[in-house]
Amino acid sequence: MPPSTEVVLTDEGIQAGGTWVYFGMREEETMEAVTAVLGDPEVDSGWIDALSSPFGVCPPPLVRVVEWGGFSLYFTQADSDFWLGGVRHFFSYEYVGAPPEFATDRGIRIGSTVAELEAAYGGPRFELIESPLDPAVGFWSYDLAEWTGMWGFTTGTDPSEIVVSINGGRGCGE
C-alpha cells in the first residue's frame, strides 16, 4: 500500500489533508483537522497526570494521547515555546507504522533504509548515532530543538538498516 498523501509528517508538525497542523496548535483545532482526515481515534487517554502517564514522563501537569493504529498525537497543558498559562496544545507525534501508512515530506516512511533517510535529510541538521538506550539500535534526528524537530529509531546504523519509527516534537521520556 502506498503511503497516504492525506497525512504528511514534518519537523514542525503534520499536514492533515488541506490543514497545516503545527506544534503549538490548540488541542481542539488539531483534533478537528486530524479527525476530518482519519476519523475518530481508536484510543484516547483523556487528560491524565503527565508525570505518571503510561507514555513516560511528559511535560507536566497534564498530557493527552490519541491514537490511530500506529500513529499517536500528544497534547500538553505545560508551558512551552508555544504557550504559557495552561493552554492545551499539540506538542508531539509518534509514528511506528501499521495502518495507516504515512511518509515524511521528503518521502521517508517506516521501512525506508538508513541510506534513504540520509539521502533525504543528510546535512548539518541531521544526526544518526547508536541509541543511548540500546547500542544495537540507531537513533536519528533532524533539526532537533527543545519543542520541534523530527527523530526516531532504526534497526541499526548501517546503510541497509531500516527506519522503525518517526517522531516529531518533544515527546515524552523515561
Query: What are the structural domain ranges in the chain?
Result: 7-102, 104-169
Is the Cα dihedral 147, 148, 150, 156 positive or negative? negative
Return the closest-CA partner of residue 60 out of 68, 45, 48. Answer: 48
Stated pTM of the model: 0.93
Q: Report residue 13's pLDDT band, with 50, 70 and 90 as the boundaries.
A: very high
Q: Which three cell numbers stand for residue 48?
A: 491524565
Place of cell 541497509: 160
At 142-171, the pLDDT tens digits run 999 988 999 999 999 999 999 999 999 988
% of the chain beyond a pLDDT of 90 = 83
At 39-76, the pLDDT tens digits run 999 999 999 999 999 999 999 999 999 999 999 999 99
Burial (CB count within 10 angstroms: exposed 0-12, middle 13-18, buried 19+), residue 65: buried
Return the closest-CA partner of residue 73 out of 82, 62, 65. Answer: 65
